[in-house]
Structure 1
Amino acid sequence: MSHSAHLPRIVQTVRTSPLGAMLLAAAPQGLCGVWFVGQQHSPDNTPWHDDDTHPVLDAAHQQLQAYFDGQLQTFALPLQFMTGTPFQQTVWRALQNIPYGHTTTYGDIAQRIGKPKAVRAVGAAIGRNPWSVVVPCHRVVGANGALTGYAGGLDRKKHLLALEARMSSRIN
């Protein structure tokens, strides 16, 4: 018996977005990933099952659409951690606290999680964030404000930050 028999069943669907097709995946406890199709660090989804009617995937797609339309700032989705070391998961949780329309630096995230010297490790963990857009790794920039690294591509990062800047200026 292979060890994969012990893993929870993962279902997936591919949905469109203004920035390209997105792969959404859910496990029994919640959303376990959102990736732009073809981005860096994409998962091996060959063992996953297609399910275009799964309620969590449907909710994720609806919330992503509302986000891209400028109607949603905070995602309300159950997340299920399927990957990542405890350190990576701590970083991913910290990303969820970056407010809409704001950016922070890798160094600031390292400070927030109590590992001020671990800036490079924080950057590596952010690059492997399994929830593109939903867990806002696009809001993390270099110390000088430079748009460094984004697994989904810098053009997408620029688009997401511009969308948020535009929408938050309307509200404030």
Structure 2
Amino acid sequence: MNDDPMLQIRHVQLRIHADDWQDALRRAANPLLDDASIESQYVSEMIQAVQDLGPYIVLAPGFALGHARPSEAVHRPCLAIATLDEPVEFGSEQNDPVDIVIVVASTSNDAHLALLQKVVTFLNEENGFDMLREARTNDDAQAIVSTVNKGE
């Protein structure tokens, strides 16, 4: 089995609706719950981290990187990407409202760093934000998966 976590097409959701930031994290994580990559406890840990530390996961205008510490509630390192049909407020003065949520779930610090590297590379080098915001179709989702996993 490949140790390098890959983004799966089933973990990409385009233009979904979320009522608020907690709902955005829950909905973005749903595909990971559906295939038992994570347990609901991990979603609770992500939400609790924001409640404890503030909206530190809102890293750029319109972008939140949902994550918590490596956890036993994570069964395999994984990523999920969701774009929102309507942006939601996370409480970040500089970067609200958020319309892109990426969830990173990992079993170890090394896996966490590998996932973060994939996300950062995608967002920095491939016009990733535009690609995500413009995505509407399954072909668009597949292009995102291919770009995130490039070279794999």
Q: TM-score, normalised by structure 2?
A: 0.30
The structure in which a higher percent of residues are strand is 2
Q: TM-score, normalised by structure 1?
A: 0.27
State the structure with more CA Rg.
1
